[in-house]
A and B are shown apart, each in its own frame.
Chain A
Amino acid sequence: DTAVSQTPKYLVTQMGNDKSIKCEQNLGHDTMYWYKQDSKKFLKIMFSYNNKELIINETVPNRFSPKSPDKAHLNLHINSLELGDSAVYFCASSQTFTSTDTQYFGPGTRLTVL
């Protein structure tokens, strides 16, 4: 009964390809997030959706496009992959987007761009 799940766990692809990462949460939460963790383990928010609506969109190249078909899913599509996109991508969710709410993280997707 995984709370926040991501697929795939590993993704190896060539530069220029398009790929997607899927995220699902079964916690009944309203808010979901995508984070990027770089090679130095630094974590940075990319996007946040609340009830399928975008509420945070950090300075991320427009090659990255999140899509939320329903509030339990937040997928990340990446066009024209570049070497610098190699990282671990984490999905997270929280009950609401209220500041006090705890965010719960998925296991991560390690993306390697060759």
Chain B
Amino acid sequence: AQSVAQPEDQVNVAEGNPLTVKCTYSVSGNPYLFWYVQYPNRGLQFLLKYITGDNLVKGSYGFEAEFNKSQTSFHLKKPSALVSDSALYFCAVRDGSGAGSYQLTFGKGTKLSVIP
């Protein structure tokens, strides 16, 4: 079975500082990894995904994520946080092996608060 862990319920960072939101995954085949952001009372917005190739993936709003196969991680990063980045962030995984690959499994979310 595939799973995603977001070990931090909340991350606080000062505006202008770099931010990291952590994600680790477990799948039996190749992982396809996604990050989404949810602003209050809004739907999920797609940020970026890793399918194959370069381990550093760049996405929307200046976010990037680094795929690390040996650590089974896909941490979300941004060099300089903005107050407007404050939101709930979800990591998600799909198994590329075909086992349960229709399903996108989400982590429980990490609330990011950027402090002015």
Give the contact stretch, choosing among B16-24, B39-47, B72-80: B39-47
Least CB distance from B41 to A in Å reads: 8
Least CB distance from B21 to A in Å reads: 14
What is the bound-complex CA distance between A28 and B45, given in angstroms? 18
- How many residue pairs bridge A and B at CB < 8 Å? 53
Given contacts A99-B96, A102-B49, contact A90 B103 (CB under 8 A): no
**Cβ-neighbour of B34 out of A45, A55, A102 (below 8 A):** A102
Interface string of B70-97 (1 = CB under 8 A from A): 0000000000000000001010001110
Most chain B CB within a 10 A radius of its CB, from A41, A45, A48: A41
Least CB distance from B56 to A in Å reads: 18
Cβ of B42 and Cβ of A99 under 8 Å apart? no
Contacts of A108 in B (CB 8 A): 41-43
Contacts of B25 in A (CB 8 A): none
Instruction: Across the interface, name the chain A residue whose C-beta is closest to B49.
Output: A102
Contacts of B106 in A (CB 8 A): 42-44
Cβ of B46 and Cβ of A104 under 8 Å apart? yes
Q: Is A34 an interface residue (CB 8 A)?
A: no
Q: Is A106 an interface residue (CB 8 A)?
A: yes
Interface string of A33-56 (1 = CB under 8 A from B): 000000011111100100000011
What is the bound-complex CA distance between A50 and B90, given in angstroms? 24
Given contacts A43-B90, A100-B32, contact A48 B102 (CB under 8 A): yes
Cβ of B102 and Cβ of A41 under 8 Å apart? no
Cβ of A56 and Cβ of B103 under 8 Å apart? yes
What is the bound-complex CA distance between A11 and B94, given in angstroms? 31
Cβ of A40 and Cβ of B43 under 8 Å apart? no
Least CB distance from A8 to B in Å reads: 14
**B-to-A contact residues, CB < 8 Å:** 32, 34, 36, 38, 41-46, 49, 51, 88, 90, 94-96, 101-104, 106, 108-109
List 5 tightest A-B contacts by C-beta distance, closest first. A105-B44, A105-B43, A99-B101, A43-B106, A107-B43
